[in-house]
Amino acid sequence: MSVQDPRRRIPRTDRLLELPSVRAAAAAVGTRVVRDLARAVQDRARRGEIAPEQVEPQLVEALASRRPGSLRPVLNATGVIVHTNLGRAPLSAAARTALERASGYADVEFDLATGARSRRGAGARAALLAACPARLPSGEDLEALVVNNGAAALLLAATALAGGREVILSRGEMIEIGAGFRLAELIASAGASIREVGATNRTHREDYAAAIGPATGALLSVHPSNYRIRGFTAAVGIAELADLAHEHALPLVADLGSGLLVPEPSLPEEPDATGALEAGADVVITSGDKLLGGPQAGIILGRAPIIARLARHPMARAVRADKLALAALEATLTGPVPPVLAALRLDPEQLRGRTEALAQALRAEGIEAGVVPHDGRVGGGGGAEVPLPGWALRLPEAWAAPLREGDPAIVGTVRDGACLLDLRCVPEESDPLLLDALTAVRR
């Protein structure tokens, strides 16, 4: 390399790492990441793609856009409230604060008053029991257990209550959810087997009764949350199933899925944990990150002796919830109305007013924008086929891709040759941010 070679002017790595802005970035994203980025920029200068004098500003620019993780925040303008591909329930401000407080050392299994080990997640358990006012027909105490998701809750219940035996389930409830996940395969992985009864559209009490025998471990009722069977149908309710199960000293497990602990007036057909428990279910399973509006979690409620049996099972350790989920769940239950329920209960006229204001502001900028009726959805397997009347901003279809790729990322719906943005799930305080993003796309 000659003395005049411009590559001699490329800043050394140690000098770059000592720059104040680079040192600050290292504290946020890690020294290894910073070092790798520095070498990448230096290599560009060695190849002649940039001048040596550009190495430092290019590194600073690369670090400014670098984030600790690859997940990006998204404005959900699809109108689907519990959008599985977008992380299901957005957490409330209270839950986010609780996550931050619990992110370091926390008294998750420690009694600060006595200095002794304590029950894990006692706060979340107490909040669940306070939020579910069910009175059990047996007169026993209600108990709660939190695991890492709904599938884990069902897996634990099947293993602890029916491992090596049969679980009786109606053919009309043999569900498959997203990504090809099938309930029967989950039950089989627990060492139990499904005993199918009835027909796809009609199952009767006598079908369950005829299937009960020495190999039976439990009866299972699964709410078909993401589909509906209509027409010539028949099903056995929780109360009738519970009577049959208890006649044979068997537990009844009810998997509700969608996350309601108490009835929700806007979804009158959606089952809730309180109703199922008071109808006689011994164990009720539901999710934390759906209509409950909290973090991913599997919530198990039921008769105290049975819940204690599940908690003692070795699998309970493998599927237990971490401190962050417990903290966010407790804050969701004890805090204000979470974003999921706020979006569900949103007044369509309020939604229309926001949408028209946004369209008017866009038209003032010379952007073609209309307002059209648009039905939102619950999503996440809740409120199947229940439309949520509302409105959407109508934009050219070509805008969908740049909006998804922008900052912030905005995800809408492409339909009938247009990009539709439904503000139901967009916080009202984000409307100015949305307007800025839309005008940026036009530019």
Query: Is residue 81 packed enough to be buried (19+ CB in 10 Å), middle (13-18) or exposed (0-12)?
Result: buried
132 secondary structure, DSSP code:
-
Percent of the chain whose predicted confidence (pLDDT) is above 70: 98
- Label residue 2 by pLDDT band (50, 70, 90): low
The string of pLDDT tens digits covering residues 249-259 is: 999 999 997 87
Ordered structural domains, the chain, with CATH: 6-58 (no CATH), 74-86+342-442 (3.90.1150.180), 93-335 (3.40.640.10)
Alpha helical stretches, state H, 47-189: 55-64, 93-102, 122-131, 150-162, 183-189
Secondary element (H or E) of residue 46 = helix 31-46
Band (66; pLDDT cuts 50, 70, 90): confident
- pLDDT tens digits for range 19-57: 888 888 777 778 888 888 899 999 999 998 999 889 988
* pLDDT of res. 283: 98
Q: What is the pLDDT of residues 140-188, one digit of tens each?
A: 999 999 999 999 999 999 999 999 999 999 999 988 876 677 888 888 8
pTM: 0.88
**Full DSSP string of 394-419:** EEEGGGHHHHHHSSSEEE-EEETTEE
Which is higher by pLDDT, 216 or 64? 216
pLDDT at 394: 96
Q: How far apart are CA 284 and CA 30, in angstroms?
A: 44
325-355 pLDDT per residue, tens? 999 999 999 999 999 999 999 999 999 999 9
Decide which of 9 and 65 is more confident. 9
pLDDT-derived band of residue 63, with 50, 70 and 90 as boundaries?
Answer: confident
The predicted pLDDT at position 354 comes to 97
> Residue 56 in contact with residue 41, Cβ under 8 Å?
no
Residue 314 pLDDT greater than 60, yes or no = yes
